[in-house]
Amino acid sequence: MRRTLVVIGSIWLVLAACTQAADTTTTAGENGVTPPTGETLAAVQDRGTLNCGVNEAVPGFGFRDPDGNFVGFDIDFCKAVAAAVLGDATAVEYIPLTAQQRFTALQSGEIDVLIRNTTWTATRDGSEGATFLHTTFYDGQGMMVRADSGFTSIEDMANTSVCVLTGTTTELNLATRFGTIPFTPLTFDANDTLQAAFIDGQCEGWTSDKSQLAGVRSSFPEADGGPEGLVILDETFSKEPLGPVVRDGDTEWAQIVDWATLAPVIAEELGIDSGNVNSFADTTNDEIRRFLGLEISTTAEDGTVTVSTFDPGLGLPTTWAVDLITAVGNYAEIYARNVEPLGVPRGVNSLWTEGGLLYAPPFR
Ligand SMILES: N[C@@H](CCC(=O)N[C@@H](CS)C(=O)NCC(=O)O)C(=O)O
């Protein structure tokens, strides 16, 4: 009987949280800001800054350091877009958003792009006015527990409480994974309150994307056991492809953000990085010349030589890729700077030529 009540209680809590998430969804323009459909590029150029919706609470991905600066893997992709579009990686207005707020902020026009550890799902594509672009980080959900808890699997965690953020894919996956295993989800709006509850012992498990658990674990307060006091269980129980998201209805802007997102991958594929990006003036590799906006000579059958720079017609300046790679580096550099310190190996986030999933379409 008690078990049944726990299961019913769990289902209710999850449903309540999901309903809350759905209720906060507004239609575009509902909050008085008219979303610039088809005009985002011009709006960003006129403003001179990119409004990037980010996280401020996940070390390694989207985090505000002690000096108040935004740092992390996702933040570097905001910078990449600003460098491509405005030629200035610092021309970014970072707008911190909770998981619940993020799609409303996108729909209302408050942000130009959302880069906040956001998972691409069919429902978000179909019902949130959102267009998901290429995945920048292939992730999966996991469970973090105290090292002294003795838990080594989800099955060990019957009749426990699990802390989870509301408005996330995480809370739905959690219910799916526990299935008939009785447990109580405790939902929170933000990481700081969730962490306080976890430290307080209100929940035995903390579930989220594994990269984010690694980030949170890396900076766990020493007074509360530090990183060593926590273990992330081996199991990965969902697919969480994370990447940038733009508003539906502005294909030109979506393509610009998409290619800015792909540029660090292209650069890594071509062996270009922030240190050598200016050293390719004499390269005979036309793929590199096209990407870096260097002049290319073509000789027609009658011997006429034409010199031109490649322009794919995306609406970006010729120097966009040079500006971008100079500012943030290639994908390997972005990863090394932000994610490697968390101890997360590249794994599936390696180039396709190295057994990973990162694969950029041809820049030609
Ligand atoms: N990728 C998942 C989860 C994203 C998510 O919100 N993760 C949490 C877990 S660490 C987070 O970002 N917390 C920071 C906060 O909202 O304070 C999604 O798109 O729903």
CA of 356 to the centre of ligand 1 (A): 24
Q: Is the CB of 350 under 6 A from ligand 1?
A: no
Thinking of the domain 2-22+141-238, which architecture would CATH place it in?
3-Layer(aba) Sandwich (3.40)
CB 170 near ligand 1, within 6 Å: yes
280 within 8 A of 65, measured Cβ to Cβ: no
Is the CB of residue 169 below 6 angstroms from any atom belonging to ligand 1?
A: yes
- pLDDT at site 113: 98
Query: In the prediction, which pLDDT does 27 show?
Result: 38
What's the pLDDT score for residue 36? 53
- Cβ of residue 190 lying under 6 Å from some atom of ligand 1: yes
Instruction: Give the pLDDT score at 10.
Output: 40
Ligand 1 pocket test, candidate residues 97, 115, 117, most atoms within 8 A of CB: 117
Q: Is 164 in the pocket of ligand 1 (CB under 6 A)?
A: no
| Residue 209, ligand 1, Cβ within 6 A | yes
**Residue from 20, 55, 106 to probe ligand 1 pocket by mutation (most atoms less than 8 Å from CB):** 55
Probe target for ligand 1 pocket from 170, 193, 237, with the most ligand atoms within 8 Å of CB: 170
Ligand 1 centroid–CA 75 distance in Å is 15
Residue 135 CB less than 6 A away from ligand 1: no
pLDDT at 200: 97
Measured in Å, residue 99 CA sits from the centre of ligand 1 at 6
Tens of pLDDT along the chain (364 residues) come to 444 444 444 433 333 322 233 333 333 334 445 555 679 999 999 999 999 999 999 999 999 999 999 999 999 999 999 999 999 999 999 999 999 999 999 999 999 999 999 999 999 999 999 999 999 999 999 999 999 999 999 999 999 999 999 999 999 999 999 999 999 999 999 999 999 999 999 999 999 999 999 999 999 999 999 999 999 999 999 999 999 999 999 999 999 999 999 999 999 999 999 999 999 999 999 999 999 999 999 899 999 999 999 999 999 999 999 999 999 999 999 999 999 999 999 999 999 999 999 999 999 9
* Nearest ligand 1 atom to alpha carbon 99: 6
pLDDT for position 20: 30
191 lines ligand 1 (CB under 6 A): yes
Name the pTM for this structure. Answer: 0.89
Provide the Cα torsion 177, 181, 184, 187; round to 10°.
0
- Quick check: CB of 51 below 6 Å from ligand 1? no
Atom of ligand 1 nearest to the CA of 191: 17
Q: Where are the domains of the chain?
A: 2-22+141-238, 262-354
CA 220 / ligand 1 centre spacing (Å): 17
